[in-house]
Structure formats: C-alpha cells, structure tokens
Amino acid sequence: MTSTPQQPLLVFTDLDGSLLDHATYDYTPAMTWLERLREGAVPVIINTSKTAAEVMVLHQALGLDAPFIAENGASIHLPASWCLNETPDERGWADIVLGESYRRIRDVLEAIRATEGFQFRGFGDFSIDEVAEHTGLDIHDAELAHLREASEPLIWEDTEEALERFRLLLIGAGLSLTQGGRFYHVLGDNSGKGRAMAWLVDRYHLLKGQRPLTVGLGDGPNDIPMLESVDRAVLIRGEHDTPIRIVETVQLYTTTQKGPAGWSEGLDHWLG
C-alpha cells in the first residue's frame, strides 16, 4: 500500500521487540516492508523509549527521512521538511521536549528514594558498563543510551505494594510511570507515546492539509497509548508474553510472531 493524495499513510513503530529483535536488535526480517514503504513515500516514524542519540544512528542506517519520537514520547525530533515555526539546527533537525527535564526527574527520584527508602536503580545510578549489561548493548551504544533528555528508565527492586505508592508519589510530582519491555520509565505526565504521536499527526495535517491514515506497531505496555490512538494497530507478540490490554474499540491485529518478523506480519495484515 502506498501513500496517495486520497489516503496518505503514516506508520508509527516501536523499536525493541518490534522493528528490532529484542535480544539481537536485528531488523533484517523487516527489510522488505521497509523498502516497500520507502518506495511508496510512506513516512516510517520511530516511537521509542530509546534516546534521540540512539535513534539518530538507526534512523541513518535505515535511510529514514521522517520525524521520530524518543524517550517514550518525551521528545519529538523534526527534520526541516516537517518544521513550521521551529528553526532546524546545524544538523537540519529541530528538537521539541514535551516532558520534564532529565535533571528534574532525577531530583524527584532521589528525593522519593531518600524519604521512602524504595529499592530501585535508574540509568543515572548505572555506569556505562552496567547500562550495557542490562540492555545487551555494546559500550558505544550504551553511551548513547545514557544520554537522556527527559525520561529515566529504572529497574524496580521492591514490592508491588511499594510500586503503587511510588506511582502515586510520581503523579503528585507531575510525573508518570510506564512499563516497557525491559524497564519501567519515569517521564513527565504531559508526555507519552500517544500524545507525541497525536502531535505529529496534527503537524502532518497542517503541512499537507489532509488527515492521514495511521498504523501503529508495538509490543509493550508503554505502547498502549500509541496503539489506542492509531487507525490500525498491530500488537506484536512480546518476548515475555506480558498481558497487554487494548480497548475493544481499536482495530487491532495481534501477531503470532515476535520482533521484526511479527512487525512484517502485522503490515501484511493491514497493508497487504
């Protein structure tokens, strides 16, 4: 399916466990569809928990020219062709932070830990070697994962009861907690994958004068806001088979395959 004047199309995708294999980060099984979308001039918009520094490397490797969303919707990154009032920097990109700053998030987490004694560790507590150990990334990519702007991944090492109190304390501080494939993520409550996606859909409408058909692909709980916001959703079978509940009104296809093979399966279903 190509993007046409009658029905323009945007494809939003998660990375780890979706376009990328959960363990190896390989995307080979998705290459045929990526090429079809490129030939059809369909923007493929990454919507991930990864940092902008991480995404930029992959963006270039895949030959993408669309915007992307980083840190679970906490930041949006626009190429010059998607800018209106924004001024691109020397790289040709404009960066928009929707959420709270990383410094404030870390300050809140440190204060909560000091007063409540909760057991958790975030990327701000990890060395680069520890980031590599917990993510499976090499040292160079772990350094990119450490360059956070507006969210903090963390490993929860306390009880479920403590987790719920932690979540409430974050809400009181204007922050939110979402669960990804490997980590919990703390970010501003005015950001998220669904909100960032809606922002870009509105921007496309302003630029093109048309509302696009949207397809979204993801595998984790943090993808739910995106999957519940698109016109056609693909829930990719997760590596750990974590139950994902999507509202019944969503046009949803659930794959039998995982990772990039499931990604291609989902596009086969909706776009054939």
Amino acid identity of residue 10, one-letter, is L
Amino acid identity of residue 252, one-letter, is L
Superfamily of structural domain 9-98+191-271: HAD superfamily/HAD-like (3.40.50.1000)
pLDDT of 131 above 80: yes
pLDDT of 2 above 70: no
> Does residue 219 contact residue 86 with C-beta atoms inside 8 Å?
no
Burial class (CB in 10 A: 0-12, 13-18, 19+), 4: exposed
> Does residue 96 contact residue 78 with C-beta atoms inside 8 Å?
yes
Kindly report, residue by residue over 61-70, the tens digit of the pLDDT.
999 999 999 9
Count CB atoms within 10 A of the CB of residue 97. Answer: 16
Structure confidence at residue 114 (pLDDT): 97
CA distance 200 to 245: 25
Task: Give ∠ CA 260-181-82 in degrees, rounded to 5.
Answer: 65
Catalytic residues: 14
Amino acid identity of residue 149, one-letter, is E
Give mean pLDDT, residues 148-166: 96
Task: Give ∠ CA 71-73-76 in degrees, rounded to 5.
Answer: 90
Angle between helices 160-172 and 102-116 (to 10 degrees): 130
CA distance 59 to 5: 26
Structure confidence at residue 233 (pLDDT): 98
CATH class of the domain at 102-188: alpha beta
pLDDT of 4 above 80: no
- 232, β-bridge pairs: 215
Give mean pLDDT, residues 238-248: 84
Give mean pLDDT, residues 29-48: 97
Q: Which of 90, 74, 71, 94 is nearest to 203 (CA)?
A: 94
List b or e across 220-240, with b for residues whose CB sees 16 or more CB atoms inside 10 angstroms.
Answer: bbbbbbbbbbbbbbbbbbbbe
> What does the CA dihedral 206, 87, 64, 6 come to, rounded to 10 degrees?
10
Structure confidence at residue 1 (pLDDT): 53
Burial class (CB in 10 A: 0-12, 13-18, 19+), 85: exposed
Structure confidence at residue 239 (pLDDT): 82
Token pair 């840190």: residue: 71
Give mean pLDDT, residues 207-217: 96
Residues of each domain in the chain carrying CATH 3.30.980.20:
102-188
Give mean pLDDT, residues 13-22: 95
Residues of each domain in the chain carrying CATH 3.40.50.1000:
9-98+191-271
pLDDT of 3 above 60: no
CA distance 79 to 208: 15
> Does residue 33 contact residue 42 with C-beta atoms inside 8 Å?
no
Q: Taking phi first (over 0 means left), then psi (-120 to 50 degrees means alpha), and beta for anything else, what does residue 26 get?
A: beta
Give mean pLDDT, residues 205-228: 95
pLDDT of 241 above 90: no
Residue 5 neighbours by CB under 8 Å, 6+ apart = 210
Query: Beta strand 44-47 with 68-70: parallel, antiparallel or unpaired?
Result: parallel
